[in-house]
Structure 1
Amino acid sequence: MSKDGAAPVRRTRRGSGAVTLHDVAKLAGVAPITASRALSSPSQVSAEVLRKVTEAVSRTGYVRNVLAGGLASTRSRLVAAVVPTIAGPVFLQTVQSLTEALGERGYQLMLGQSGYVNSREDALLEAIIGRRPDGIVLTGIMHSPEGRKRLLAAGIPVVETWDLTPTPLDMLVGFSHAEVGRKVAEFLRAKGRRHLAVVAGDDERARRRHGAFCEAARAAGLPEVPVKRVPAPTTLKSGRTALSELLGEHPGIDAVFCSSDLLALGVMIEAQSRGIAVPGQLAVVGFGDLEFAADLQPALTTVRIDGAAIGRQAAQFIVERAEGRPVDQRVIDIGFSIVERDSA
């Protein structure tokens, strides 16, 4: 029984159980055709019926299949991927390898941009689920309660990426952002840096990295770490501005951990404009190991994530599930590495 005393909905899922229109109708106490009419032509049913069906949809997370009924039972060979931004280069390697790996198996990729707020992801997910792709690849594990409900109810194979949790929605391939933060703090401390600072985007994954970074510095007995948060997606300009503000408030900082390589580039340019030697006076560490990182002067020390491996594994997960094969290991930690170059 649920908390409100209602019997749970029995689900017959594709792979792990999809909520159907019949489930909604049963919960609402109406015929399936009445439930269908309430969803497609609400003006043709009574206010009471509409209320019951709407409540049943809300409770189950059901999303109406917008494809023709005859097509719903066949595989679409379409996979949807959702990324926060297509402007930032950090996810491009994953998208490219995902596209190629799916293409080799006869699947096509549909790409959506969610931004960094759950409301936009929710609207995008509703549109995607309604078209019943063979799989959905998501960036991160932080979804709204409504988004999680819809994904679980849809019965579509889901792979969360670029993050780590022991309790994924379905399948997951990624790494620990908290561990990244801890390891970078240890790296800088080993280099003799004591006055650390953070410049980070205001998204959830960056917050977990810099939160763990600050905790590790505190545990090592270092001074409190000042943090400058900037809007995501992050830019070179926001890196310059953040360092300028940090130096005005904390002129003694000797190392900065940035939540993206673009921020780190902005920090390095601002330091150069002020005559601050990198790494002599200020060590800089980025995140992402973008193509330009090794070619800077000095070359940027950064955290490398194997985005291509994430894309390939996500494709393998989706194809195995879509073709009815079991997935024994549903969570894969691909790890990360700190690439030491001249900036730190």
Structure 2
Amino acid sequence: MRNDKAATMADIARKAGVSPMTVSRAFKSNSLISKDTREAILKVAEDLGYVFDSTASNLRAQKTDFIAVTIPSINNANFADTVGGLSETLNPRGFQILLGYTNYDVEEEERLIEQLLRRKPQAIVVTGGKHTARARKLLENTSVPVIETWDVPAEPIGHFVGFSNAQAVRSMVDHFVSVGYRRIAFIGGDASRDTRGSDRRLGFIAALRDHGLDASRLINGGTPPISMREGANAMARLLTEYPDSEAVICVSDLSAFGALTECQRRGVPVPERMAIGGFGDYEIGAISVPALTTINAGARLIGERTGQLILDILDDVQNVRDVTIEPQLIVRESSR
């Protein structure tokens, strides 16, 4: 039968033969009580089915045990890897992740930032370095550490762990040009929503112009995130609007995979007739036929380095430095 009366610290104290204060201390990782006493108390708590409620303790101490994080997409493998790396780095210290999902909407990011900061996290991690004016003000005025990720902001609010999306795409343009492609296109999404995708598009344009090549072959795949289906639709438009194109760089591996399948559907050989490059080094790009040339942005590493940066800041480590990640170009069968 279910026991409707939950066990209390007083119950544990009576059974363990200690004071309620000692029980309270046993649930704190920095407790000064002996190991044997702590283990005995925790054993009694487990026998009674007691669950420690840290809320009141945290409110008294004006501290919480969570890190607030905003990401654009919950089904994007790259962002999942970043959150995984962050969580694995923070978990040993007892920190948990409170996740907010912006759906590539800066207005939604603003709302989430306000909601998350009200809960007094130990730090807040946001994706990207471009925000609404109000979101930026909220982040500038908070007393907790702010870390911007997946970008190198022109004006960092606090700290950042990321890379230049424009420079990352430039490395692929340089590769395509070096092996002989000249009529190169870009497939991306609505630049007003996906700021990192917009930076990749700008990097593509700047790199082509630096090579003295036409940078006008730009296909808008729609509202981010750009899916495989939208990548296929964008490739169909590219083949219609710019039929002499030799290569295309896509904003992500998912859109690149869609572009690849559209080429296969139309009997366009890859890379003999059309070279394709993606971004993100997703698993699907590595096992597709042909495998996709891509850029590995170090998604998990971003999470791990962000977690360590947070711990260093909270531990008052001196000379904490921002972290610039170096994305890696991975050349596979989808390009020469």
- TM-score bracket, shorter-length normalisation: 0.7 to 0.9
Bigger CA radius of gyration: 2
Other-structure match for 2:317: 325
Matched, 1:340 2:328: no
1:282 to 265, 274, 282: 274
Q: Is the 8 A contact 1:217 1:225 kept in 2?
A: no
Matched, 1:308 2:289: no
- State how far apart, in whole Å, the 2-side matches of 1:327 and 1:81 are: 24
Amino acid at match of 1:204: T
Report matched runs for 1:56-75 at 5 Å. 71=59, 73-75=61-63
- State how far apart, in whole Å, the 2-side matches of 1:199 and 1:129 are: 36
Q: Is the 8 A contact 1:181 1:211 kept in 2?
A: no
**3-state SS of the aligned residue for 2:256?**
helix
> Per-residue displacement from partner, 1:31-62 (whole Å, max 9, x unpaired)?
xxxxxxxxxxxxxxxxxxxxxxxxxxxxxxxx
Matched, 1:250 2:242: yes
- State how far apart, in whole Å, the 1-side matches of 2:57 and 2:115 are: 17
- Displacement of 1:252 in angstroms is 0.3
> Per-residue displacement from partner, 1:238-280 (whole Å, max 9, x unpaired)?
0010011111111000100000000000000000011100000
> Per-residue displacement from partner, 1:177-200 (whole Å, max 9, x unpaired)?
110122111111011001100001
Structure 2 spans left out of the alignment, 5+ residues: 1-54
Of the structure 1 ranges 256-265 and 161-170, higher mean CA displacement relative to structure 2 is found in 161-170
Other-structure match for 1:205: 196
Other-structure match for 2:72: 84
Matched, 1:161 2:152: no
Matched, 1:183 2:171: yes
- Displacement of 1:308 in angstroms is 1.3
Q: Percent identity?
A: 35
Q: Is the 8 A contact 2:78 2:300 kept in 1?
A: no
Other-structure match for 2:218: 227
Q: Is the 8 A contact 1:321 1:327 kept in 2?
A: no
- Displacement of 1:165 in angstroms is 2.7
- State how far apart, in whole Å, the 1-side matches of 2:74 and 2:99 are: 9
Other-structure match for 2:284: 292
Structure 1 spans left out of the alignment, 5+ residues: 1-66
Tell me the TM-score normalised to structure 1 length: 0.77
1:129 to 93, 114, 117: 117
Matched, 1:100 2:92: no
The aligned length equals 277
Q: Is the 8 A contact 2:172 2:329 kept in 1?
A: yes
Amino acid at match of 1:76: T
Q: Is the 8 A contact 2:152 2:160 kept in 1?
A: yes
